[in-house]
Structure 1
């Protein structure tokens, strides 16, 4: 039997998934795919073999299985790469492939599409559709994996509480439609990328030249094509080369002046250091700005909570609020939809549109806070195709 369970973030869904796997002995792949990487092996090929080694699978059989699963999951060119240096989507592929290589009788997946591109999604659809045993999928939003399942359960109030029919519980695909009267911003260049080249983790990005206009720009591409690398280079957080030292600049800034940006990484948990959400948002800024953003982003109920104790969807919004804390000119968001439930998707869309419209900067100023300048652009990555359409522009790597 195949079952799809949908419930909001913080409702105990991950605990339910783990408990089910423990009770039934099913192979379990949790939402944090990186936690499934053992860090005991130096290549993806060795990582994939780890579980089979513990089971005593003969070496020729292991090699044959790895060849097969690597081809199915697009991992063939990554077999000699360091498994700890992969992209978010590549890491999830390795985690799911490792579980399948043990030939489990049953399978439990917790939010398996987070960070996956369309190729990985197609591979997962094939796996779920053809898996001979029981498959249970837990997710925060409704998606097309549900169409493969015999039983669909939606719990907007939490796992096991007051299930609703499908039409009554929407999905992110329905949230990204522009309202009547919305129009694209003028195509005004605000970021110039000139022959950018980055060499990182046995991967080379570029040379790349492009123009980022005012508005919301979606950096698109398959897993591992360098989307995160590009954002890190835009933020000048990694070494890069180009026609000049400052290969990327705003048209309104002197070429030697640093870019005034806010940055929210995919791996948000490693970036938190304060004891409360309020203090975390105020880092590098002021408590006035933090309070204004807590109100704007709807984080009042968790303002005094440790960031790591906040449910994943609200925790992602906390990460975005931290990026907004100084009132930046540019907002760089790497896979900000990872971890979101339906309410989180709505909040993220409101934040991004509010940023480019100047609404957030006005809120900060109204509360007596400070900003770094006029808001110009949101540059973000996202593998949720329908939701990414809220962008004004698209740059494909």
Structure 2
């Protein structure tokens, strides 16, 4: 029973009724001009509901009308969480953009006609039901021949109270049904067009891609700096050598300064303050990563061949991040172990191969699911290449990347 009466307690039931009443206003304006509302014949009533249709079709052809109707529908048909179920803040699916095509104009015109006719029917039925309630209860002194009611009723005294209650209930149910109908039609006639949906999807996709890119940037740069700092601090404490400690602190300082530069650049992008962000590092800056790894105790055997400086910008920048994450992965999981790095550049592709010895206590599969390695594979895929990571038969861990240059 409470579910049956719930619509009576929701404000949206009555805002939808008001929305329909406003939409039917043009009917009564036109009818007051022709054929009149004093005592219309059945043919006159037909003209009352049909005359405004051409006007609604013309209004629907105005591009701004779709925006006006969309805003009004959002406010009155879907005014708050109570209109869509408690706690549901989902978009009702109503466009607030002007019509951009003839198809959208036609849908707007159909919406205006539907709103007008449903509103007109709601007003007429409301008048009939309320008038019948007044007649049954004797609240009017109009003679039966001038009361304007289609179904003749008469005063029943107190015995008419149950009938009056039924008429009031029918009135409320009619309002709920009319509100449901217009709410059901609104997303279908005022909803986003396929072009608008595609544009919104593309914008959302771009936002997600940018967020993922920034997350990878922060993970790689800040993660590398923290890993180097932890390894250097541990090595300095274990060595108890003032000279080694000085070198370790110097390496931590340089790595931290580079990480702060990366962080400032990412924050500038997020703030969108209009100032140019500092350039992202490329593979021409790889020596900085190698020195940082060597300063942490790793024995890096590096061999770089080919015109690295002539690599396309995206390939060179993403290659730097892949190398950074590979070295970070070595220091984080294996410590200062020997590392073999080979970078080869030719006319067709960039090949990067990083291998390191796995400590005996390290599981051969323990590093396959990290976000850093997943980021390497994602970067390679976005550039049309491929990346493989995992243990080799000789007890080493490999990160192998191939990126096309075409």
Structure 2 length normalisation: TM-score?
0.22
Q: Which has the higher contact order (CA 8 A, sep 6+)?
A: 1
In the superposition, the TM-score normalised over structure 1's length comes to 0.22
Q: Which has the larger share of strand?
A: 1
Larger Rg: 1 or 2? 2
